[in-house]
């Protein structure tokens, strides 16, 4: 049984294996409801969301959070610490200056002016009070690099609690599966050719055995300006789109980590990124700007390349 809905600004697909259609339908329904609830909390574009409230109260007052938003921010700060700040949820103030639809980007002076507002260390979580405080006026928290992964993990928890024995959840490119397909084989996920024509143009497949996988690429949201690709993965150190890589894929037990780490390692680059991946013990594949493949040793036996030229 497979169903898709447009949620969290993207396509969410839930596939479940169950011998009872009713059980499958009920489980999927509850999963979508839960993701809708999370979207209500995390939606960057809705003034009603908790994230918007946090941003409005920057440098004004701490904001009392729901358990879910507090956890999301805790995970985000944890990933920032593990990646030397390559993942930074406060990059929103710079991301806001880009308009990929109208192909506009900020001037260098505006980027420079806003950059001091990007620093995850100025996000103060208070566990006892369950509050968050943004220290500087104008800071903007943008959960776009971690919220989809968080939601995919929640979806899997719901499906398990509903007694579903095997499932695959995909929130755009953030995918997590458990159990086996009806044919007894593990879920198989394709890795896109970052310069391919369509979403079906893949360079490799990976078997997903009770694991999560995410890919971040410079082809998701971008425009070309004077031959340069202006994309949505921002280096918090410079305030500009990160250079040197076309896509990063991370495999790990939880989507909340694969989602945020794929973004972070894209920013870190091949050398530093692979070091971080090895240290965390997460399988990682990186395609650099020349199209060259870099990967952790542990991935080699789990990946199958489908294009002969690599």
The sign of the torsion formed by the CA atoms of 36, 39, 41, 45 equals negative
Q: What is the rounded CA–CA span in Å between residue 255 and residue 237?
A: 25
Binding interface with ligand ADP (CB under 6 A): 87-89, 91, 95, 142, 144-145, 172-173, 216, 220, 232-234, 236, 259, 262-263, 267
Q: Which does 287 bind (CB under 5 to 8 A by kind): Mg ion, ligand ADP, none?
A: none
Instruction: Let me know: does 44 contact 24? Beta carbons within 8 Å.
Output: no
Which CB atom, from 80 or from 216, has the smaller least distance to Mg ion?
216
Binding mask 178-217 for Mg ion (x = CB under 5 A): --------------------------------------x-
Q: Which does 153 bind (CB under 5 to 8 A by kind): ligand ADP, Mg ion, none?
A: none
* Nearest Cα to Cα of residue 239 among 51, 106, 81: 106
CB of residue 145 to ligand ADP, shortest distance in Å: 3
- CA-only gyration radius of the chain, Å: 19
Q: What is the DSSP letter of 213?
A: E
Q: What is the rounded CA–CA span in Å between residue 242 and residue 232?
A: 9
Applying CB under 5 A, the site for Mg ion has a residue count of 4
262 binds Mg ion per the rule CB under 5 A? yes
> SS3 for 229?
strand
CB of residue 173 to ligand ADP, shortest distance in Å: 5
CB of residue 267 to ligand ADP, shortest distance in Å: 5
> SS3 for 32?
helix
For Mg ion, the binding residues in 210-229 under the rule CB under 5 A are: 216
Instruction: Let me know: does 268 contact 85? Beta carbons within 8 Å.
Output: no
CB of residue 259 to ligand ADP, shortest distance in Å: 5
Rounded-to-10 torsion of CA 40, 147, 247, 269: 140
- Name the helix (H) or strand (E) containing 212: strand 212-217
Q: Which does 283 bind (CB under 5 to 8 A by kind): ligand ADP, Mg ion, none?
A: none
Among 80, 255, 263, 296, binds Mg ion (CB under 5 A): 263
Which residue shows structure tokens 């996988």?
A: 213
Which CB atom, from 88 or from 259, has the smaller least distance to Mg ion?
259
153 binds Mg ion per the rule CB under 5 A? no
259 binds Mg ion per the rule CB under 5 A? yes
Which CB atom, from 69 or from 216, has the smaller least distance to Mg ion?
216
Tokens of 37: 């609830």
Which CB atom, from 17 or from 252, has the smaller least distance to ligand ADP?
252
Tokens of 114: 């806003």
Which CB atom, from 144 or from 186, has the smaller least distance to Mg ion?
144
Which CB atom, from 167 or from 172, has the smaller least distance to Mg ion?
172
Say how many C-beta atoms besides its own lie within 10 A of residue 186's C-beta. 18
Contact set with Mg ion (CB under 5 A): 216, 259, 262-263
């Amino acid at each position: 049984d497979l169903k898709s809905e447009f949620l969290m600004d993207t396509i969410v697909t839930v596939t479940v294996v169950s011998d009872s259609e009713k059980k499958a339908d009920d489980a999927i329904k509850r999963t979508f409801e839960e993701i809708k609830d999370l979207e209500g909390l995390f939606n960057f574009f809705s003034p009603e969301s908790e994230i918007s409230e946090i941003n409005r109260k920057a440098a004004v007052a701490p904001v009392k959070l729901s358990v879910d938003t507090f956890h999301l921010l805790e995970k985000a700060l944890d990933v920032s610490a593990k990646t030397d700040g390559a993942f930074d949820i406060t990059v929103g103030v710079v991301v806001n200056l880009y308009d990929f639809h109208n192909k506009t980007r900020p001037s260098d002076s505006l980027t420079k002016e806003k950059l001091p507002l990007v620093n995850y260390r100025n996000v103060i979580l208070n566990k006892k009070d369950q509050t968050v405080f943004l220290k500087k006026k104008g800071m903007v928290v943008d959960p776009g690099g971690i919220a989809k992964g968080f939601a995919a993990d929640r979806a899997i928890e719901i499906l398990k609690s509903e007694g579903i024995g095997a499932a695959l959840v995909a929130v755009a490119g953030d995918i997590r599966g458990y159990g086996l397909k009806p044919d007894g084989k593990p879920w198989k996920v394709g890795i896109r050719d970052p310069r391919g024509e369509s979403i079906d143009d893949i360079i490799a497949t990976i078997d997903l055995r009770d694991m999560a996988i995410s890919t971040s690429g410079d082809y998701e949201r971008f425009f070309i300006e004077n031959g340069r690709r202006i994309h949505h993965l921002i280096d918090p150190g410079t305030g500009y789109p990160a250079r040197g890589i076309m896509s990063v894929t991370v495999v790990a037990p939880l989507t909340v980590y694969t989602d945020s780490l794929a973004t972070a390692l894209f920013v870190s680059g091949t050398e530093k990124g692979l070091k971080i991946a090895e240290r965390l013990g997460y399988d990682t594949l990186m395609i650099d700007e020349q199209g060259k493949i870099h990967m952790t040793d542990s991935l080699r036996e789990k990946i199958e390349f489908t294009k002969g030229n690599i």
